[in-house]
Structure 1
Amino acid sequence: MATFEARAVDEGRKVKVIVIGGGISGILCGIRIPQYIPSAELVIYDKNEDIGGTWFENKYPGLACDIPAHSYQATFEPNPSWTTFYAAGSEILKYWHGVAQKYGVRNYVVSNSKVEKATWDESSSKWTVEIKNTLTNEVHTDTGDFVISATGTLNDWRWPTIKGLHDFKGKLLHTASWDKEYDYSGKKVAVIGNGSSGIQVIPAILPKVATIDHYVRGKTWIAPGFLSEEYTKDHAPSIDMQFSEELREKFRTDKEFYLQYRKNMDGKLSSIHGFVYPGTMLYRLVGGGIAKHMEARLGTHPEMMARLKPAFSPGCRRLTPGPGYLEAIVDPKVNYINDPITEISLTGVITADGTHREVDAIFCATGFNTSFTGRFPVHGRNGMSLDERWGKYPDTYLGLCTDGFPNMFFVLGPNTGPSTGSLLLIIEKQVDYIVEVLKKTQRDAVLVVEPKKTSVKNFSDYCQSYFPKTIFMEDCRSWYKSEKAGGKVTALWPGLCSFLDLSGSKVCPQLTPHQRINVALGEGTSMPEMGGFRLWLSKQKSTRLAWGWLDYR
């Protein structure tokens, strides 16, 4: 005799969704899933004591977002009261805590809970997740129909591998694990690294310290602030770039003006994408403009340009605007050092030329593990390990999921980061896409969903045929790539607005499974982008339908 679930025909089956991570991606899941699937059981596990992810964990001096604040926010929850053009980390965290509070996200969050393992159970078509309480070290398990990995990339920090580092007798800090109680006033400080955190922390600590020895392994481009010219339309140039109260009040009271301001900002961020193609006019304009900008800011120290300017094109490594950085490194208190570090002594730093420089503190601004190797073991069908499945190159369908790991999704997975434009638009669209899939499985009583192998291969092939024509394959050390130099590009989306077209479409597993990804994505650009049209102004969703899904049972 047939058995029936105790639900109405139009109610949709009950599902449980486990979200791993309480950063921006997890917060957006905590908003959108209850909004559109109110019957779903939702739990968000986060390893920290509070939500916020990167912006909760990082607290170093000078921490800020390098994307304009009015583009680094939820599109459905605009904040007209940002105090600075590039928001400080503390203000970003306050904003996302406010958004989470408004939408009741904390109702679904279990803090101090680090996921240790996730295993697919074929017999029940569910995921079993092991979670460790970071306060008590107790481990318990939970099961769910779907798992969404929202762990992000900027949270797995590592000490640099330098002989003697942990024998140093002074203060040793990593920018990602900052001790706010430490007073560096009057101290002789070594700062290792010139990535984003190093570029931000140097000018922030300079006024208080006695001296800075700045150790730099590779050369890098220092860009003007993204769209900083938009700020100087209304304000005199300044390092902190604070909004005037008059303009903030206009944002608050004139909603149409503020909407157009945001549209203009997002459109301009996207409009520079053409510079990633060598030989184009925009490529030449951007490269020449950045070089002139650096020379102007270095002022009477033109010799520093040769020590800073890389052989690779601007953008091969992520461009970092550095308000105050170029001015700081030519300050008499700063010693800019290109010689490699060979060893850390009990009292200082030794470089390859044999020089020993004594310091009171060492600040490691050496970044994160940005690879897509798992933060915890994940086992899919037949016990397959996700790390083994991906090997040196993580291949996925649209960066959202991979075959062999059913009912599992990634936010900001492989090949989804924007090379230009705001990351927040990408995160929103990915979460919305995942919610559409969940709605379909619930509505149509689909038990399991995963991408076809051919769909994963097609997208992977497309990515690797796209990037060789861009600056990203030049010889530079970049976290964009699977290897330090010469590897495949694993972090970036192959193009720009095409992702928003695809992810904004309806999920339709019946549509032309033979359609190839190069047909859907073309050259990685979109007609609105190519024609200078602002994507946000479009009120029509793309007519392209996502394809490649395979429904079981």
Structure 2
Amino acid sequence: MKTVDLQQERGAPVRTSFSSGSHNKAQTLSGSLTPVGGVTMEKQFFGVKRPLRVIVIGAGISGLNFFKRAEEQGGNLEIVCYEKNADIGGTWLENRYPGCACDIPSVVYQFPWRPARWSRYWSYSEEIWSYLKVVEQENRFVEKYVKLQHQVEELSWSDKEAKWRVSVHDVQHDLHFYDEAEVVINCTGVLSKWKWPSIPGLQTFQGTLLHSAAWDSSISLKGKRVALVGAGSSAVQILPNIYPDVEKVYTWVRSKVWITGNFSQSFTRADGSNYQYTDEQQKIFDEANNDEYLAYRKMVEQPFNRRFEFIMNGTEAQKATFDYCEEHMKTNLQTRPDLIEKIVPTDFYVGCRRPTPGYGYLQSLCASKTTAYTETLETISEKGFFDPDGNEQEVDVIICATGFDTSFKPRIPLLVNGVDMRQKWTQEQHPPSYLSVALGGVPNYLISGGAYFPVAHGSFFPLIDSFCKYALKLIEKIQVDNIAWVAPNEMKTKQFLGRANDFLKQTAWNGPCSSWFKGGTVDGQPALYPGSRLSFMKLIENVRFEDYDIEYLDPDDPFAFLGNGQHVCEEDGSDVTWYLGTNSDQNLSDILLKRMAAPKSV
């Protein structure tokens, strides 16, 4: 194993950048006697974006979206992304278990800026990953920005340097090195670190042991005896999809859970099942039908933004949703009244956990080849497991669909001026999240999908897109105003969390269920945005800099960015009369010079 420092070996092939040429032109003017922070002050135009380096962690949906928006909105940015996997895609690269699909309709589970042609109303993981790969290849994101099989192992911020020092492991070559950047953006997402369950004897099992987030597709379940551990969204999809092949399946539903009909059923079959688009329907995806496709997307998306009220305690919408889902579950479990009593919730409302659509799951629970336990799985043996009566049941395969580490706390050392923030936050269930996009007191560090992100309903794509636009506005402020660092004020962060936690007490999310919103606990604090997804997107349309602590490159001259007294638009060929409005026809000047010239004197 070799360790190098990129700051010493500048030839290491890890840097890719893009910039706006006009700003570079203004940036390179020289002759000043007062260089500050690498910027020539007397010759600098107000509005110039100083060069800035950004390290992105993760090349899943968030990373790809950031690259796209940075190319559109950014300038003078040098971007490198470290991705732990051998390809892009994050969750949709890793999760390939039988039946793995998105519970959000395909046409709204995509980048707003890259609508695609989909084969089904709800897409399976392979198609979603293929879509992400097409987007990456169209834009050459890996070529330009991404270092695959590179694991970030530590982040360390220094106020003195106004930079992050990032420890990276090149897994493929077993090489460790350090990199530096002014800004770090954590795009690892909510569901990125899967975990084995803590069940005595698990690692002694002599058969095939699988995890839903690390599926081995070479394993056949045909004619096998299978134990399926877990009752979350992965298990709900796995059971009906393996049932036709297995000889016998044992599964555990130890907590009450809402198994709902599929989301956005207005366009689906009467039974709520998935379907393939016909050739005629797929014509709507053609470029010539952009208006129709947009209208269809908006129709499918709209219900997700209209039903927030069912989350609020005491509302008619909440009661109606409870009654509907209760009837749905009882109807599908009617042959197993014992399961109705054990797993249909009575003490918390729909939404306490993220609703789990499960076409075929309840029917499979009741089917003849399934044995469903409502007790805890206590012990696993070399040959199988011990049932609640103490009898050993032999199985060939154990599938652990037991989810991810959703604690929201940093999974690697996060140091600020030598202090590991993980140790500082040991007494807190969640880190001090500011609007889910940053952490109180942590400079130049942004997070996509952090604690208090609105993960409970709807597609992540528009939320992630909103975050990326927010991040670029904050970065531009740092560039233009010659700022060394910005960090959410710790008191403002505390006030936001106080407001959020008080609001969440009024919602179904605070009910007595075990959910990953609470880090897998029953009585923990939900880490969700205190409101609807629309409220969140509106909130982060603009950066509330009044909530940030700001340190300038020159603390004694925070207005140094005004530079030579001129704005960059006076130099780069921009419209210098923008305040009068915008011409739809840019070729009017020559015509008007002739038409509006002063009349000849008589």
Shared fold, TM over 0.5: yes
Task: Give the C-alpha shift of residue 304 in structure 1.
Answer: 3.2
- Kindly, what percent of the aligned residue pairs are identical? 32
- One-letter amino acid of the structure 2 residue matched with residue 27 of structure 1: L
TM-score by length of 1: 0.89
- One-letter amino acid of the structure 1 residue matched with residue 319 of structure 2: R
Query: Is this contact kept in 2: 1:381–1:405, CA < 8 A?
Result: no
The residue that corresponds to 2:552 in the other structure is: 552
Task: Give the C-alpha shift of residue 71 in structure 1.
Answer: 1.3
Q: Write the distance in 2 (CA, Å) between the matches of 1:182 and 1:268.
A: 39
- One-letter amino acid of the structure 2 residue matched with residue 255 of structure 1: N
The residue that corresponds to 2:278 in the other structure is: 244
TM-score by length of 2: 0.82
Instruction: From the superposition, tell whether residues 418 and 237 of structure 1 become closer, same or farther in structure 2 (CA, over 3 Å).
Output: same
Q: Does 1:365 align with 2:433?
A: no
Q: Deviations over 1:195-252 (max 9, x none)?
A: 01100111111111111011222121111100123223xxx65733222221111342
Equivalent residue in structure 2 for 1:397, among 434, 440, 464: 434
Where in structure 2 are the equivalents of 1:63-102 lying within 5 Å? 63-79=100-116, 81-102=117-138
Task: Give the C-alpha shift of residue 404 in structure 1.
Answer: 2.4
Query: For structure 1, which segment, 211-220 or 42-51, has the greater mean C-alpha deviation from structure 2 after superposition?
Result: 211-220
Query: For structure 1, which segment, 45-54 or 469-478, has the greater mean C-alpha deviation from structure 2 after superposition?
Result: 469-478
Q: Write the distance in 2 (CA, Å) between the matches of 1:411 and 1:418.
A: 11
The residue that corresponds to 1:2 in the other structure is: 34
Query: Is this contact kept in 1: 2:103–2:262, CA < 8 A?
Result: yes
Equivalent residue in structure 1 for 2:74, among 10, 20, 37: 37
Q: Write the distance in 2 (CA, Å) between the matches of 1:403 and 1:214.
A: 42
Query: For structure 1, which segment, 294-303 or 90-99, has the greater mean C-alpha deviation from structure 2 after superposition?
Result: 294-303
Query: Is this contact kept in 1: 2:482–2:552, CA < 8 A?
Result: no
Q: Deviations over 1:39-66 (max 9, x none)?
A: 2000010000001000011111110011
**What CA RMSD, in Å, does the superposition of the two structures yield over aligned residues?**
1.8
The residue that corresponds to 2:353 in the other structure is: 317
Q: Write the distance in 2 (CA, Å) between the matches of 1:417 and 1:152.
A: 13
- In structure 2, list runs of 5 or more residues that go unmatched: 1-32, 554-602
Q: Write the distance in 2 (CA, Å) between the matches of 1:503 and 1:492.
A: 12
Q: Deviations over 1:357-394 (max 9, x none)?
A: 11111001111111112121111145242452373232
The residue that corresponds to 1:280 in the other structure is: 315
Q: Write the distance in 1 (CA, Å) between the matches of 2:379 and 2:421.
A: 37
Secondary structure (helix, strand or coil) at the match of 1:447 reads strand
- One-letter amino acid of the structure 2 residue matched with residue 249 of structure 1: K
Secondary structure (helix, strand or coil) at the match of 1:73 reads coil
Where in structure 2 are the equivalents of 1:317-466 lying within 5 Å? 317-386=353-422, 388-389=424-425, 391-466=428-503
Where in structure 2 are the equivalents of 1:200-211 lying within 5 Å? 200-211=237-248
Q: Deviations over 1:481-517 (max 9, x none)?
A: 1461211111444443211111113x363xxx4xxxx
Query: For structure 1, which segment, 474-483 or 47-56, has the greater mean C-alpha deviation from structure 2 after superposition?
Result: 474-483
Task: Give the C-alpha shift of residue 336 in structure 1.
Answer: 0.9
Query: Is this contact kept in 2: 1:272–1:420, CA < 8 A?
Result: no
Query: Is this contact kept in 2: 1:20–1:151, CA < 8 A?
Result: yes
Q: Does 1:484 align with 2:518?
A: no
The residue that corresponds to 1:473 in the other structure is: 510
Instruction: From the superposition, tell whether residues 352 and 330 of structure 1 become closer, same or farther in structure 2 (CA, over 3 Å).
Output: closer
Task: Give the C-alpha shift of residue 143 in structure 1.
Answer: 0.2
Equivalent residue in structure 2 for 1:22, among 37, 59, 65: 59
Instruction: From the superposition, tell whether residues 483 and 363 of structure 1 become closer, same or farther in structure 2 (CA, over 3 Å).
Output: closer
Task: Give the C-alpha shift of residue 549 in structure 1.
Answer: 5.2
Query: For structure 1, which segment, 386-395 or 36-45, has the greater mean C-alpha deviation from structure 2 after superposition?
Result: 386-395
Where in structure 2 are the equivalents of 1:182-331 lying within 5 Å? 182-232=219-269, 237=271, 239-252=273-286, 253-298=288-333, 300-311=335-346, 312-331=348-367
Query: Is this contact kept in 1: 2:151–2:171, CA < 8 A?
Result: yes
Q: Deviations over 1:416-454 (max 9, x none)?
A: 123222221111111110011111111222221111122
Q: Write the distance in 2 (CA, Å) between the matches of 1:73 and 1:497.
A: 17
Q: Write the distance in 2 (CA, Å) between the matches of 1:395 and 1:493.
A: 15
Query: Is this contact kept in 1: 2:248–2:369, CA < 8 A?
Result: yes
Where in structure 2 are the equivalents of 1:52-71 lying within 5 Å? 52-71=89-108
Q: Does 1:127 align with 2:161?
A: no
Instruction: From the superposition, tell whether residues 217 and 136 of structure 1 become closer, same or farther in structure 2 (CA, over 3 Å).
Output: farther
Q: Deviations over 1:150-206 (max 9, x none)?
A: 111212111111111111111111111111111111001010111011001111111
Q: Write the distance in 2 (CA, Å) between the matches of 1:24 and 1:56.
A: 11
Instruction: From the superposition, tell whether residues 424 and 69 of structure 1 become closer, same or farther in structure 2 (CA, over 3 Å).
Output: same
Q: Write the distance in 2 (CA, Å) between the matches of 1:266 and 1:212.
A: 37
Q: Write the distance in 2 (CA, Å) between the matches of 1:53 and 1:174.
A: 16
Query: Is this contact kept in 1: 2:454–2:536, CA < 8 A?
Result: no
Q: Write the distance in 1 (CA, Å) between the matches of 2:231 and 2:367.
A: 16
Q: Write the distance in 1 (CA, Å) between the matches of 2:455 and 2:194.
A: 22
Q: Write the distance in 2 (CA, Å) between the matches of 1:384 and 1:172.
A: 36
Q: Write the distance in 2 (CA, Å) between the matches of 1:320 and 1:174.
A: 19
Q: Write the distance in 1 (CA, Å) between the matches of 2:389 and 2:438.
A: 48
Query: For structure 1, which segment, 377-386 or 272-281, has the greater mean C-alpha deviation from structure 2 after superposition?
Result: 377-386
- One-letter amino acid of the structure 1 residue matched with residue 146 of structure 2: V
Instruction: From the superposition, tell whether residues 324 and 174 of structure 1 become closer, same or farther in structure 2 (CA, over 3 Å).
Output: same
Query: Is this contact kept in 2: 1:398–1:415, CA < 8 A?
Result: yes
Q: Write the distance in 1 (CA, Å) between the matches of 2:519 and 2:130.
A: 34
Instruction: From the superposition, tell whether residues 196 and 43 of structure 1 become closer, same or farther in structure 2 (CA, over 3 Å).
Output: same
Larger radius of gyration: 2
Q: Write the distance in 1 (CA, Å) between the matches of 2:530 and 2:174.
A: 38
Task: Give the C-alpha shift of residue 72 in structure 1.
Answer: 0.8
Task: Give the C-alpha shift of residue 344 in structure 1.
Answer: 0.8
Q: Which runs of 4+ in 1 moved over 6 A?
A: none
Instruction: From the superposition, tell whether residues 389 and 163 of structure 1 become closer, same or farther in structure 2 (CA, over 3 Å).
Output: closer
Number of aligned pairs? 512
Query: Is this contact kept in 1: 2:438–2:445, CA < 8 A?
Result: yes
Q: Write the distance in 1 (CA, Å) between the matches of 2:338 and 2:120.
A: 33
Secondary structure (helix, strand or coil) at the match of 1:405 reads coil
Query: For structure 1, which segment, 203-212 or 412-421, has the greater mean C-alpha deviation from structure 2 after superposition?
Result: 412-421
- One-letter amino acid of the structure 2 residue matched with residue 183 of structure 1: S
